[in-house]
Amino acid sequence: MKPYYEHGGVTIYHGDNREIIPAITGITGVLTDPPYGLRAARKGAFGYGAKRTMTGFKANGPAIPKRDYGHSNWDDAPAPQETIDALIALAPRVVIWGGNYFRVPPAKGWLVWDKMCGDTDFADCELAYTNLNCAVRRFRYRWNGFLQEAGHHDERYHPTQKPLSLMLWCLKLMGEQAQTIFDPYMGSGTTLVAAKLTGRRAIGVEAEERYCERAALRLSQEVLKLA
C-alpha cells in the first residue's frame, strides 16, 4: 500500500478501508466516526447555525451563507457491520461514534457528547460505543454549525466533522496505552490532528481524495504550529 501522506508519525491512505484494514497491524487504539446511513453528506449543505422554519433555514440576524460540501453518497448507507466487528477486534481500546446505529457488544463505558444545540431540529447529543473500563462519561461542547463553544472555532471541512476538542477528550479517556490510533473513516482528519497534538502515531483511511487532501493540509499546518 502506498500512502497518500506520511509525515511525523501520521499516515493517510486513500482507498477502500475494507481492503486496507486486513493489512493494518500494531494498532493500540481505534477512534472513528463511521457513516450512520442518515444521508448526512446530502443534508450537510444547509447553512451554519440554521434553524428549520416553515420558510426554510434562517439564523438570527443577517443571513449566513450555506456551506457547500459537494455531492456524495458515502452516508446513504451505514458502515458495514462486518467492518464494525473488525474494528472492535482490532485494538484493546476502541471508541466508535454513532455506536447506537450498529450491533455492538454490551458496554458500560458509553460516551455522550452534549452538543448544546438548543431549540433546533438537530440531535441534542451523540453517542459513542467504547470498550473502555469506565463509567458513562459526558462531554459538553456546543457545536451547532456556525455556533460553537465560546472561545473556540473549528473550520468546518466535512458535513459530519467532530470538533478537535472532542477527539482530544476521547484520546485522554483512552489513556497513554493508546499510542497508535487508527481511523478508517477519517474524513477531514480531525482524529489524526488530535493524535499528533498529543504525541501519538496515527493511521487514517479515506475513500474521497478531496478529504485526504484537506487532512494532509491540516496536518502540515499543525506541523508548522508545533514547530
pLDDT tens readout for residues 118-168? 766 678 899 999 999 999 999 998 876 566 666 676 777 788 889 999 999
Cα 185 from Cα 112, distance rounded (Å): 20
* Cell representation of residue 51: 434553524
Maximum distance among all alpha carbons in the chain? 52
Residue range 216-226: mean pLDDT, rounded: 74
CB 115 within 8 A of CB 144: yes
How far is CA 138 from each of CA 39, 127, 142, 168, 204, rounded to the nearest angstrom?
Answer: 26, 9, 13, 14, 26
Residues facing 126 on adjacent strands: 113
The pLDDT value given to residue 74: 63
Residue of higher predicted confidence among 68 and 214: 214
Q: Within a 13 Å sphere around the CA of 143, how many CA atoms are in the beta-carbon half?
A: 21
Q: For the chain, what is the radius of gyration of the CA atoms?
A: 17
* Cell representation of residue 74: 458515502
The pLDDT value given to residue 222: 61
SS3 for 225? Answer: helix
Kindly state the helix (H) or strand (E) to which residue 210 belongs, with its residue range. Answer: helix 209-226
Residue 51 has pLDDT above 60, yes or no: no
Residue 22 has pLDDT above 80, yes or no: yes
Split into its structural domains, the chain has a count of 1
The pLDDT value given to residue 223: 54
Cα 210 from Cα 196, distance rounded (Å): 21
pTM of the full predicted structure? 0.83
End-to-end CA distance of the chain: 29
State the pairing for strand pair 125-130/111-114: antiparallel
Q: Containing domain of residue 191, as a range?
A: 5-226
- The CATH number assigned to the domain holding 33 equals 3.40.50.150
Instruction: Name the nearest CA neighbour of 19 among 1, 46, 39, 44.
Output: 1
The amino acid occupying position 96 is I
Residue range 51-72: mean pLDDT, rounded: 43
Mean of all residue pLDDT scores within the chain: 84
**Residue 183 CA to chain centroid, in angstroms?**
8
